[in-house]
Amino acid sequence: MNENIREILLGGQSFSWRDDGGGTYSAVLNDKIYRIRGLEDAAKDPFLADYFDLSYDYDKAAREIADKDDILREAVTSTGVIRLLKQDHWTATISFILSQNNNIKRITGLYDRLSKRYGHEIEEGRFTFPTPDEMKGATEEELRGLGTGFRAPFILDAIEKAPLLDTLDTLSFDEAMARLQTIKGIGPKVASCILIFSYQRREGFPMDVWMKKVMKEYYPDKDPSYFHPYEALSQQYLFSWIRNK
DNA sequence: CACCAGGCCGTGC
DNA sequence: GCACGGCATGGT
């Protein structure tokens, strides 16, 4: 089955990628700018090979998920193969704090404004996502001025607690969820997104407004454990499917 | 004008 | 424990 590179890059698990037109996508990652047209390009670069989790067999996972039931089969076949990116912890944390009660387009805009204000320029008009250190002097007024709204104090708390992000790897899923939720503005949905898209915790199952609809309408008597061992991937397929339907 | 977006917090019961 | 209103902003 074909990989859906567009959905992987722009479908809401990362806010780093931009559509440059002509089938090219670019992102500032790892202090560099990367331009790719597909996974073949990612395979040529060690950083991207890891970032795209190329050692994991997503095609096999897609087939097994599709075999689970008719809804998942429809979600997988209509979407194409989805991968889970291995994003930087801090970038993912701020990205999903920005995501609450927000939409993908506006989240991307906020991500860009934070980059322009606190990051550094890699090439004309392209900025790194700022590190916690680079955001150290930020104030609530400044952050609100960039359009973050009620999320401004959450970002400040995350800056304060950024070292916590390096303590999660050895923890169980539940412990990591609990520790992330000690940061203001991080609840179960945001925490599970961070753990999936930055810590490779495939048992996460983010329940946003879209997924609540899916569960109510198609899985009324089920809970996330039904999708084991592909909770996170199944959720991604159902999320893409319902949003594009 | 309303209602919504990859929700969470504080309050009240 | 669960239900509810409020919350910044920009799009439809």
Listed in sequence order, the residues at least 6 apart from A16 whose beta carbon sits closer than 8 Å to its beta carbon are: A27, A28, A29, A87, A91, A111, A129
Listed in sequence order, the residues at least 6 apart from A89 whose beta carbon sits closer than 8 Å to its beta carbon are: A165, A166, A168, A194, A198, A199
Nearest nucleotide over every DNA/RNA strand to the A235 CA, judged by C1': B6
What pLDDT does A60 receive? 98
A100 touches strand B (CB under 7 A): yes
C3 C1' to A3 CA distance, Å: 42
C2 C1' to A95 CA distance, Å: 29
Distance CA A72, CA A62 (A): 9
A77 touches strand B (CB under 7 A): no
Q: Which nucleotides of C are covered by protein (CB under 7 A)?
A: 7-11
What pLDDT does A75 receive? 98
Task: Record the pTM.
Answer: 0.98
Residues A228-239: pLDDT tens digits?
Answer: 999 999 999 999
C10 C1' to A42 CA distance, Å: 34
Nearest nucleotide over every DNA/RNA strand to the A106 CA, judged by C1': C10
What pLDDT does A120 receive? 98
Q: Which nucleotides of B are covered by protein (CB under 7 A)?
A: 4-10
Residue A197 amino acid letter: F
B1 C1' to A58 CA distance, Å: 47
Residue segments in chain A with a per-residue pLDDT below the cut of 70: none
